[in-house]
Amino acid sequence: MKIHQIRNATIIVIYNDKRFLIDPWLMPKDFMPGFEGAMNSEVRQPRVDLPISIDKIADVNAVILSHFHPDHFDEFAVKALDKNIPFFVQNETDFNIIKNFGFSDVRLISESGTDFEGITLYKTQCQHGRREVVKPMCEQIGMPYDAMGIVFKSGAEKILYVAGDTIWCNEVRSAIDKFNPEIIVINACGATVLVGEGERLIMDIEDTKAISNYAKNSTIIVSHMDTVSHLTVTREDIKSLKLNNVVVPDDNEILEFNN
């Protein structure tokens, strides 16, 4: 297994010799404004350029979209990707969105498992910010709340859990308990919206500590860093924790895990 950190939550997972592109956000640096109603809305994003060419990023066997938000998928991905590529999504809403972009082979990942080329993919549940607070906010502005995590299983590889856009919550604990993954990818820049005293949408420093402690025997890979406008946690913040089982890759770094 290899995990290639591209930028933000965009990663390429090489698993059982198949290349999966997850959450392709491929626009150039400063292309879009910061998110209204969130931290640092005056900062344009992405904050950094892609580290490699779009053509290299798009050279994959399948695509997985954890959820349709503007920092996880964009028009540059639509243009770059083969419209016949297998494209995995979380629900009927995202299925229809991706179909409408012209992709012909759109598939749902189920909680009971979806097979692809000798690999079983499992959908896991998330809380993209505290559900009781953030979901009503999303509904008010017409943005979908739900996101998914993805578990990869194959007899030839370690179990991988890409937790997705979620805070530390019971759903994440349940996924770890159920699948016992050796490798876990978390999104942990503490992206925060201005609701009340501020609501984090994904993991932050305390959440990283919590999952590191809960999954002591897993390697925790920290992604979704140093790129969006509304971050509150940096790579250096996570590195400074010096957690033994936590790895913080740079953009364009490739991590390899032997069977």
CATH code where residue 68 lies: 3.60.15.10
Question: pLDDT tens-digit profile of 21-76?
Answer: 999 999 999 999 999 999 999 999 999 999 999 999 999 999 999 999 999 999 99
Taking 90 as the threshold, does the pLDDT of residue 196 lie above it? Answer: no
DSSP 8-state assignment for residue 167: -
Average pLDDT over all residues of the chain: 97
pLDDT of residue 131: 93
pLDDT at 156 (0 to 100): 82
pLDDT at 195: 85
Sequence-distant contacts of 53-61: CB under 8 A, at least 24 apart: 54/26, 54/80, 55/80, 57/6, 57/10, 57/12, 57/21, 57/24, 57/26, 58/21, 58/24, 58/82, 59/19, 60/12, 60/19, 60/20, 60/21, 60/85, 61/18, 61/19, 61/20, 61/85, 61/86, 61/117
What pLDDT does residue 124 have? Answer: 98
The sheet with strand 183-187 has its strands ordered as 114-116, 119-125, 148-153, 160-162, 183-187, 219-223, 246-247
> Hey, what are 258's tokens?
């032997």
pLDDT digits (tens, 9 = 90+) for 220-234: 999 999 999 999 999
Q: State mean pLDDT over 7-34.
A: 98
The Cα-based distances of 256 to 13, 90, 127, 247, 253 in angstroms read 10, 27, 29, 12, 10
Q: What pLDDT, in 10s, does the model give residues 247-258?
A: 999 999 999 998
Give the tens place of pLDDT for each residue, 138-172.
888 888 899 999 999 998 899 999 999 999 999 99
Alpha-carbon torsion (129, 245, 206, 169), positive or negative? positive
pLDDT reported for residue 10:
98
Query: Cα–Cα distance between 251 and 254 in angstroms, integer?
Result: 9
pLDDT score recorded for residue 197? 80
Using a 10 angstrom Cβ sphere, with 0-12 exposed, 13-18 middle and 19 or more buried, the burial of residue 187 is buried
Mean pLDDT, residues 87-112 = 98
Could you tell me the residue range of the domain that residue 137 belongs to? Answer: 2-256
pLDDT at 91: 97
pTM for the complete prediction?
0.97
Number of domain units in the chain: 1
- Give strand pairing partners of 65: none
